[in-house]
Amino acid sequence: MFRRVATNAVQRRAFAAVASVSFTSAMSCRTMSVGGAPPSMGGGRPADIRRPEEAVGGEPDAEESMTPPEPAKKPENPPKFFTYEVDEQGFCTISLSRKPVNSFSLEFFEEFNEWMSWMGDNDEMKAVILTSSIPGVFSAGLDINELHNPKEDRFGFFWSSFQHFFVILNAFPKPLICAINGNSPAGGCIMAIGCDYRIMVDTDSSAEKRPYRIGLNETKLGIPAPRWVMKRYAEVVGHRNAERMLQLGETPTAVDALKLGLVDEVCSADEIKAKAILAAKKYASIESNARYMTRRIMREECLAIIGDEEGQRYDIEATGSIISHPDVQKSLTTYLERLSKGRSKK
């Protein structure tokens, strides 16, 4: 069993905008009101969780816990795992660039979460577009090395950073457009369904025109997707489709994903940038408070699962128990060996 990790006051700010996700409680929350702007994303990490070396004792008092979060500051160092560009309309395009397949490590989550928190609070940013700079892949999802023979303290922080990533995407105050220009299994799909609008390239550029795929295939590695992800997936594709696809680890092609509602539009690689900008314009043209409140209410059930410390900690402990099971570790070892053999042949 993975032990519970330490808490601190700073981390609570990261979840201030989603700590109470019901509509009624949101109306009285200091960080959000009907007449005001969407709440600050704030800084820090979810579940009041720090790295082990940062842990301190003590709990904040009630007054401190109700203090609205300060707007997130721009990170001091440029990002290592993606690039970003802001056009004259205030549309920010983030291009994932963590080779070889844009997998999500602890360090990626730390960086991405920090930058997205700042972008969410930056008034100059009117919308964010997520895409990839690596040919043929949007994102392969979680870095398997974080799950294979995990160290207890690092895994606890990795998973809490993953929770934070999910909350940032699904509670983001600006329009989020996903330009999926490659395969997008597992965590790549989780990133996509956190966005407001998903556009996907249909095939690669090879002579065979191999179709790109998207979906949650975790069960093929012996791991169930997180409960909060399952809930969001069902919201997107419908409960019956989600149940079947999750159990079988299905990754439909872009064309089939369009039929399921998993993506909203399919296009060629040459068209995706312009279509993403057009979608950003459409969403940004709607009054921001009304649009954000609608988004927030529609996603409150999936956010509520990890909407407080108890839910976040339980999720970390339960997932740690699953990941550390010998059968799961054997499956991950086999998968990594297969990847290693495949790369050596190249």
Residues 6+ apart with CB under 8 A from 259: none
Radius of gyration of the chain (CA): 19
- How many Cβ atoms sit within 10 Å of the Cβ of residue 115? 22
Residues across the chain: 346
Short-list 219, 213, 220, 157, CA closest to 189: 213
Exposure of 140 in the CB half-sphere (CA atoms within 13 A): 15
Q: Which of 217, 300, 303, 307 is catalytic?
A: 217
Q: Is 250 a catalytic residue?
A: no
Short-list 108, 33, 74, 42, CA closest to 292: 33
Short-list 141, 92, 96, 139, CA closest to 118: 92
Distance CA 253, CA 122 (A): 36
- How many Cβ atoms sit within 10 Å of the Cβ of residue 227? 16
Q: Is 336 a catalytic residue?
A: no
Task: Report the SS3 class of residue 307.
Answer: coil
Q: Is 120 a catalytic residue?
A: no
Question: What token pair was written down for 270?
Answer: 């040459």
Helix 106-121, helix 152-170: angle, nearest 10: 30
Q: Which of 106, 142, 169, 216 is catalytic?
A: 142
Q: Which of 218, 265, 300, 309 is catalytic?
A: 218
Query: Residue 332: enclosing H or E segment and its boundaries?
Result: helix 326-345
Eight-class DSSP state of 47: G
Q: Is 187 a catalytic residue?
A: yes
In contact, 94 and 128? CB cutoff 8 Å: yes
Cross-strand partners of 267: 201
Q: Which of 43, 156, 187, 194 is catalytic?
A: 187
- Active-site residue set: 142, 187, 217-218
